[in-house]
Structure 1
Amino acid sequence: MTVRKILEEKGRDVVTLGPDRTLAEATRLLADKRIGALVITERDGGIAGILSERDIVRVIGEDGADALSRPVSQVMTASVKICRESHTVNEVMEIMTRGRFRHLPVEVDGRLAGLVSIGDVVKRRIEEAEREAESIRSYIATA
């Protein structure tokens, strides 16, 4: 299964925020939407960074509540790993595991086209494993 198929099934909507918005605004948005990360985008739709719950916990742990007034551009992860629609579930799992992150923006022609989470990837991998197991059971039953 490819990232394109995952996005076709789950949708391409991504919650984004501009780099000049405050960490307090980002935190409220994460809570309101019940999500774990925001993609930070430039005005032209390009990916500027990603802000995760881990980023927020880290900076508040270091600087306390005063960190909430900082712009997200100072807190976000700017060197964002991305994937393409052609990546497979296994390739995306490898990228996420190696980088130790749970969200991977999907980029098409330099613009944000979706977001894949570790939950999306694990769900599809489990479905694939179940299909493979059923195929083996069917093969054995007919042999």
Structure 2
Amino acid sequence: MTVKQILDQKGRNVITVSPSMGTQDAVRFLSDNKIGAVVVTGPGGKIAGILSERDIVRAVATRGADSLTAPISQIMTSKVTTCGESHSINQVMELMTNGRFRHLPVEEDGKLIGIISIGDVVRRRIEDVEREAEEIKAYIAG
């Protein structure tokens, strides 16, 4: 299974925010949307960074509560790993494991076209394993 297949099933809608958004507003935004990370986009929709719950926790741990008044551009992860639609689930799992992150923006020609989470990847991998098990059972029974 590829990233394209995941996006075809789940959709390509990506919630994004501006780098100038305040951290406290971003915390509320993440909570209201029940998401763990949000892609930060700059002019022309180009990926400027990604803000995750982990980024917020690190900022509060190192800078204290004052970090909540800063714009998210000061605490977001600005070096963002991305993938393309042709990446396989195994490649994505490796990127996420090695990078220790749970959200991966999908880019095509420098433009954001989707996002996948570790939950999306695990769900699809479980579906693949279950389908393979059923095929093996059918083969043995037949």
CA distance in 2, matches of 1:16, 1:65: 24
| Matches for 1:23-38 after TM superposition, within 5 Å | 23-38=23-38
Q: What is the TM-score with the length of structure 1 in the denominator?
A: 0.97
Task: Give aligned-pair identity as a percent.
Answer: 60
Q: Partner residue of 1:130?
A: 130
- Which moved further from structure 2: 61-70 or 48-57? 61-70
- Which moved further from structure 2: 73-82 or 59-68? 59-68
Q: Partner residue of 1:47?
A: 47
The alpha-carbon deviation at position 87 of structure 1 amounts to 0.6
The alpha-carbon deviation at position 123 of structure 1 amounts to 0.2
Q: State the secondary structure of the residue aligned to 2:43.
A: coil
Q: What is the TM-score with the length of structure 2 in the denominator?
A: 0.97
Q: Partner residue of 1:4?
A: 4
Check the 8 A contact 1:18/1:43 in 2, yes or no. no
Aligned length: 142
- Give me the CA root mean square deviation: 0.7
Q: Partner residue of 1:64?
A: 64
CA distance in 2, matches of 1:94, 1:46: 25
CA distance in 2, matches of 1:16, 1:26: 11
Q: State the secondary structure of the residue aligned to 1:67.
A: helix
Q: State the secondary structure of the residue aligned to 1:106.
A: strand
